[in-house]
């Protein structure tokens, strides 16, 4: 039996505005797979800790093997942990979205990088390592090796063959939620939002290829868990004391028959369960909306992204503004709250398309509006398109307001992007709160702010 330490190196920002703070599912799935293999697993979720506090907890484990999850927003903390734990660790493993699409920098700090879906791969790495076998025989990893054996040995980077995706998700054990600080997440959620919420993943992957979307871990796959297994996990989350469920699927509404079956199973078990999900505007209809509402769904989020058809085409969204409006209105008629996400000042946008998107967003009957600047994440087609214009890494301390950072040489300045975001949020709040006076206020507010936006660089 090997003692394994897994670390989720995310620290809650001091001024955290996000309503999406959930226990980490990915690393919990890895923990569950390792426990099933018989390993002793410890998990340090840094979300509610300080750096030194988390490091002391990690060092106290005395683990033989340490695995760290990483995405773009966590890279500095991830590498810091690796360097701190190097002297006491027999094997250091990196995994997650960023190591999957850009593994080479991690090999300066780690022994092995796991690419893509990690449950099977990590278990095989540990089996090989514990036997002293050649890790290069394990599919789905990147590692350093040496040629020869003398003083002139040269480091060699080995990419082992890709590992096929797990075809039957039902064979994977559910996330090891007992290793996560559920009480801290419940307290945080109730204090911030009035309710606690945790995630359940009922599918993996997405068959669409939006230019900006990073789906490197699951690639172009789309796989479903059986409805019974999904609702079993919903019950487990409710037993832990959470008030609500957020389905973490890229597109929960992808296949109508599956959604209706999950809704029927929730009702059959008489679960007192409120939940939310993410849908596509072209994969949603009246029946689905009604059944979701009857099964406890309170809100659906749509990634609308733009109100301009040419920009949607540039993004490879395969949707239209008309489909977006129809989906939002269907959800509202069913009694669901609706959230929507838009990307402003996308490469190809002009002043007029940005203003059209803001006006379109303000015209929708939304309960939540997420506006962001574009992020060319490694592994995306957008990153490939602007890679020569990348100017800096994403670091929240570089941001004007601690939540968005412009990372490439764009056609719009960061200040102008921020103005667009704040203008859009102001129009959204006017529409929501001003009642019958909203058209008059917007009629005064919009021309002035439109003119200021056009004059900015």
Q: What's the pLDDT tens digit per position in 380-390?
A: 999 999 999 98
**CA 133: distance to chain centroid?**
35
Length of the chain: 457
Residue 411's region, left for phi above 0, alpha for psi from -120 to 50, else beta, is alpha
Confidence of residue 98 (pLDDT cuts 50, 70, 90): very high
Confidence of residue 50 (pLDDT cuts 50, 70, 90): very high
Q: What angle do CA 213, 389, 319 make, to 5 degrees?
A: 30
Nearest in space to 210 (alpha carbons), one of 406, 385, 383, 381: 381
**What pLDDT is recorded for position 395?**
65
Structure tokens at 426: 């102001």
Confidence of residue 13 (pLDDT cuts 50, 70, 90): confident
- pLDDT tens readout for residues 200-220: 999 999 999 999 998 888 888
Helices within 86-118 (DSSP H only): 97-101
Domain 3-159 is found in CATH 3.40.50.280: yes
Sign of the CA dihedral with 222 first, then 10, 304, and 233 last: positive
| Mean per-residue pLDDT, 278-294 | 97
**What pLDDT is recorded for position 214?**
87
Mean pLDDT of the chain: 94
Domain 195-455 is found in CATH 3.20.20.70: yes
- Tokens 């977006």 -> residue: 324
Q: Is the pLDDT of residue 402 over 60?
A: no
Structure tokens at 444: 């005064």
CA distance 310 to 312: 5
Strand 155-159 and strand 141-146: pairing?
A: antiparallel
**What pLDDT is recorded for position 109?**
96
- Enumerate the CATH 3.20.20.70 domain ranges in the chain, comma separated: 195-455
Nearest in space to 9 (alpha carbons), one of 87, 90, 110, 104: 110
- Enumerate the CATH 3.40.50.280 domain ranges in the chain, comma separated: 3-159
**Burial of 23 (C-beta count, 10 Å sphere; 0-12/13-18/19+):** buried
Q: Is the pLDDT of residue 401 over 80?
A: no
Nearest in space to 8 (alpha carbons), one of 180, 222, 131: 180
């Amino acid at each position: 039996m090997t003692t394994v330490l897994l670390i989720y190196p995310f620290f809650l920002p001091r001024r955290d505005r996000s309503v999406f703070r959930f226990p980490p599912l990915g690393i919990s799935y890895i923990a569950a797979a390792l426990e099933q293999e018989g390993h002793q697993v410890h998990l340090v979720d840094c979300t509610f800790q300080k750096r030194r506090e988390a490091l002391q907890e990690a060092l106290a484990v005395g683990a033989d093997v340490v695995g760290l999850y990483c995405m773009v927003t966590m890279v500095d903390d991830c590498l810091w942990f690796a360097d701190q734990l190097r002297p006491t660790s027999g094997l250091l493993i990196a995994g997650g979205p960023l190591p999957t699409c850009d593994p080479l920098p991690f090999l300066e700090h780690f022994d092995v990088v796991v690419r893509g879906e990690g449950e099977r791969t990590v278990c095989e790495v540990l089996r090989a390592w514990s036997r002293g076998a050649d890790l290069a025989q394990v599919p789905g990893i990147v590692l350093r090796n040496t040629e020869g054996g003398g003083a002139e040995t040269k480091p060699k980077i080995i990419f082992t063959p890709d590992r096929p995706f797990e075809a039957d998700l039902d064979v994977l054990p559910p996330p090891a939620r007992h290793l996560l600080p559920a009480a801290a997440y419940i307290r945080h959620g109730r204090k911030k939002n009035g309710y606690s919420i945790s995630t359940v993943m009922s599918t993996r992957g997405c068959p669409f290829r939006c230019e900006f979307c990073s789906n490197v871990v699951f690639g172009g796959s789309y796989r479903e868990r059986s409805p019974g297994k999904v609702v079993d996990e919903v019950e487990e989350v409710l037993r832990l004391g959470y008030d609500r469920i957020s389905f973490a699927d890229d597109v929960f509404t992808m296949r109508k028959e599956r959604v209706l079956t999950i809704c029927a199973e929730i009702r059959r078990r008489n679960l007192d369960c409120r939940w939310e999900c993410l849908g596509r505007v072209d994969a949603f209809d009246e029946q689905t909306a009604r059944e979701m509402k009857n099964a406890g769904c309170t809100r659906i989020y749509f990634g609308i992204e733009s109100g301009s058809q040419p920009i949607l085409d540039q993004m490879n969204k395969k949707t239209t503004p008309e489909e977006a409006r129809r989906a939002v209105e269907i959800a509202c008629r069913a009694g669901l709250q609706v959230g929507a996400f838009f990307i402003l000042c996308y490469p190809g946008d002009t002043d007029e398309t940005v203003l059209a998107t803001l006006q379109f967003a303000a015209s929708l009957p939304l309960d939540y509006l997420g506006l962001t600047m574009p992020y060319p994440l490694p592994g995306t087609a957008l990153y490939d398109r602007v890679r020569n214009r990348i100017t800096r890494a994403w670091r929240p301390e570089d941001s004007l307001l601690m939540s968005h950072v412009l990372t490439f040489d764009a056609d719009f300045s960061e200040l102008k992007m921020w103005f667009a975001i704040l203008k859009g949020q102001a129009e959204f709040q006017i529409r929501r709160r001003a009642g019958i006076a909203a058209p008059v206020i917007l009629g005064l507010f919009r021309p002035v702010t439109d003119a200021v936006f056009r004059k900015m660089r």
